Amino acid sequence: MTLHHQNPRHFKAIFQSFDDLADGAEGPARLADLRAELTRRGLDGYIVPRADAHQNEYVPPREERLAWLCGFTGSAGLLVVLKDKAALFVDGRYTLQAPAQVDTGAFTVVPLAQLKPEQWLETHLPKGATLGFDPWRTTLDGRERFAKAVAAAGGILVPVPEDPFDAIWRDRPEPPRAAVRLLDLAIAGEDTPSKLRRVQESLAEQKLDGALISDPHGTAWLFNIRGADVDHTPLPLAWCIVPTSGLPHLFVEHAKLSHPVREVLGAHAHIHTTADLEATLAALATGRALRVDQATAPVHLAQIIEGAGGTVNKGADPIGLLKARKNPAEIAGMREAHVRDAVALTRFLAWFEFEAASGTLTEIDAVEALETFRRDTGELSDISFPTIAGAGENGAIVHYRVTRATNRTIHPHELFLLDSGAQYPDGTTDVTRTLAVGMPSEEMRTRYTLVLKGHLALTHAVFPKGITGAQLDPFARQFLWAAGLDFDHGTGHGVGAGLSVHEGPARISQLGHVPLEAGMILSNEPGYYKTGAYGIRIENLVLVEPRSVPGAEKPCLGFTTLTLVPYDRKLIDLSLITVAERGAIDAYHRLVRNALSPLLAGDDLAWLIRATAPL
């Protein structure tokens, strides 16, 4: 029996669930409980961010306040609760998902593109009202924005250090206690003493006495450690204080450290439990200027620094940019991970083409099959995010997550949007392909081709050093714009090397103001979404590398593609692409075929050869 005829029931997903993660039906009752608790504390309202103390994208179950309260499970959002109103603010990725998950009679979903929380508060917060916020889960920038809005409304903004959810969330999960492990130096490419010197040199150049590292990705990078405290990102939740000279202070639950790991880390840092963070920070801050990351550091810790007589120097995490510029070992690992991932995806696509024709395949079947093909590599550690597998109208939900309640059959003559990624020991992947099941309509082919043209334009962009992602973003939108179309998400995000699939500080979007630098890895993922009909997205990961340009007056950069997965030829309208674009597609497919052919056989190899044949 060939793999193509394998029954979908033989596949299994172990790194993702298809159960509803939250129950929106419980929202009104839980909202009433929260309001009663706020009244008991003398508060007229409260801000509920979708965040933990580190502002992580993925948070432990204990920190999923927003999902528990209202049922919204997106990775970004903010809820403002007043006595008679509750407004959930979401970005363009979740404008369809949020209303489907929450009780809209109790919660009003507000797209951020229409109104920001601060603007809403200026209009809806009653004069003299006291609005509480969580100082552990609110950044300095966030507090400043809310303080201005509340003052404009004539209200009072107050920190609430004691979490009100402790009083109403009775079966709240315990904090994570996953073991910390050491990353092999061959994969990390640089040891901790070398990294520490570079961080401390950066702090000294800025005339700072040290830095509070609130982003656990930075701590993981600095100490070459990994963990499993959150889903899909190998993170140990930890804090770090780096002085400009001397050993840093690492704060991590002792139960997470084996004796061998503690011994290695103890050579590079003073090891503390997280319970010691506040007292140690106060002692180290006295009379000193400490960098505090404006994007991840909580207000509470900044208040401790100031209360101890220290100075809060608000700015970018000193590790962020160093981590984003991948070293040769990290780049090599990412390349190897992408080849491994491409083999799994090619085997999946060959299987999918055969199975989808039956008209009985479901979204969950496809997700379980893809994860199984990835596990068959023998190297899969996790997926890098829950797979987005949207058939037909579900594909128009940008961050759709299939559940047993939403699962639908993939029908002929519709589009299937598949956005997925993997965590391997040596690298992280993220790839999106839009697949035609049967014959696509002319409109589908036209709009897919416009998206592909933008994807190619960005792929082959050459630009002077110093150019930002905001300046490059129009490359991917130009053909959609010319047709009066657009998409409501960024074109690209940074990607970590065996860390978070969404990494700063650089990104390709209208808000991407950090210059791109050699060694950065980003996504290139323009799209188009027709509500109620279909979604289109094409995504590759690209590496920023130097480019030699004859006569150039500045150093130049360009992109090299890491992802090795064929585009769907059935969706390309050859009448809309230029000779140069046709050559670029053929060259990419030739690269894919040459890289993967030695690693495939039988039906899978035959499918690859057909899929990568010249246009």
What is the pLDDT at residue 10? 84
Question: What average pLDDT does range 435-449 have in this prediction?
Answer: 97
Q: How high is the mean pLDDT of the chain?
A: 96
Q: Which CATH superfamily is domain 24-168 in?
A: Creatinase/prolidase N-terminal domain (3.40.350.10)
The span from the CA of 27 to the CA of 33, in Å, is 10
Instruction: Report whether pLDDT(2) > 50.
Output: no
> Domain residue spans in the chain?
24-168, 181-322, 325-611
Question: What average pLDDT does range 130-137 have in this prediction?
Answer: 98
Q: Are 148 and 226 in contact (CB under 8 A)?
A: no
CATH class of 325-611: alpha beta
Grade residue 593 by pLDDT with cuts at 50, 70 and 90. very high
Instruction: Report whether pLDDT(439) > 60.
Output: yes
* CA geometry: angle 545, 547, 549, nearest 5 deg: 170
Instruction: Report whether pLDDT(117) > 60.
Output: yes
In 277-362, alpha helices (H):
277-285, 299-307, 320-324, 328-356
The span from the CA of 485 to the CA of 487, in Å, is 7
Q: Give the C-alpha distances (Å, rounded to integers) separating 55 from 50, 61, 216.
A: 8, 14, 10
What is the pLDDT at residue 326? 98
Grade residue 579 by pLDDT with cuts at 50, 70 and 90. very high
Grade residue 22 by pLDDT with cuts at 50, 70 and 90. confident
What is the topology classification, in CATH, of domain 181-322?
Answer: Creatine Amidinohydrolase; Chain A, domain 1 (3.40.350)
pLDDT, one tens digit per residue, over 486-505 is 999 999 999 999 999 999 99
pLDDT, one tens digit per residue, over 258-314 is 999 999 999 999 999 999 999 999 999 999 999 999 999 999 999 999 999 999 999
What is the pLDDT at residue 3? 44
Q: Which residues, at least 6 apart from 236, have a Cβ–Cβ distance to it below 8 Å?
A: 178, 180, 216, 219, 220, 225, 226, 227, 228, 229, 252, 256
Q: Are 348 and 369 in contact (CB under 8 A)?
A: yes
Query: Which amino acid appears at position 248 of this protein?
Result: P
Q: Are 437 and 415 in contact (CB under 8 A)?
A: yes
Instruction: Report whether pLDDT(603) > 50.
Output: yes
Question: What average pLDDT does range 403-417 have in this prediction?
Answer: 95
Q: Are 381 and 502 in contact (CB under 8 A)?
A: no
Q: Give the C-alpha distances (Å, rounded to integers) separating 599 from 342, 344, 509, 596.
A: 10, 10, 36, 5
Instruction: Report whether pLDDT(453) > 60.
Output: yes
Sheet holding 414-420: strands in order across? 388-391, 414-420, 431-437
pLDDT, one tens digit per residue, over 303-338 is 999 999 999 999 999 999 999 999 999 999 999 999
Nearest Cα residue to 546 out of 570, 517, 568: 517
Instruction: Report whether pLDDT(217) > 90.
Output: yes
Torsion angles phi and psi, residue 53, rounded to 5? -70, -15
Q: Are 332 and 349 in contact (CB under 8 A)?
A: no
> 60-91 burial, b if ≥16 CB within 10 A, otherwise e?
beebbbbbbbbbbbbbbbbbbbbeeebbbbbb
Six-digit token pair at 476? 């991917």
Whether a cis peptide bond, with omega within 30° of 0, leads into 117 is no
Higher local confidence (pLDDT), 92 or 439: 439
Q: Which residues, at least 6 apart from 585, have a Cβ–Cβ distance to it below 8 Å?
A: 452, 456, 567, 572, 577, 615
Q: Are 425 and 101 in contact (CB under 8 A)?
A: no
24-168 and 181-322: identical CATH topology:
yes
pLDDT, one tens digit per residue, over 350-396 is 999 999 999 999 999 999 999 999 999 999 999 999 999 999 999 99
Q: Please name the helix (run of DSSP H) or strand (run of DSSP E) that holds residue 131, with its range, or none.
A: strand 130-133
Instruction: Report whether pLDDT(465) > 90.
Output: yes
Grade residue 7 by pLDDT with cuts at 50, 70 and 90. low
What is the pLDDT at residue 8? 58
Nearest Cα residue to 499 out of 320, 301, 361: 320
Q: What is the pTM of this model?
A: 0.94
What is the pLDDT at residue 92? 86
What is the pLDDT at residue 333? 98
How much of the chain, in percent, has pLDDT values that exceed 90?
Answer: 95
Grade residue 23 by pLDDT with cuts at 50, 70 and 90. confident
pLDDT, one tens digit per residue, over 517-535 is 999 999 999 999 999 999 9
Question: What average pLDDT does range 163-191 have in this prediction?
Answer: 97
What is the pLDDT at residue 20? 75
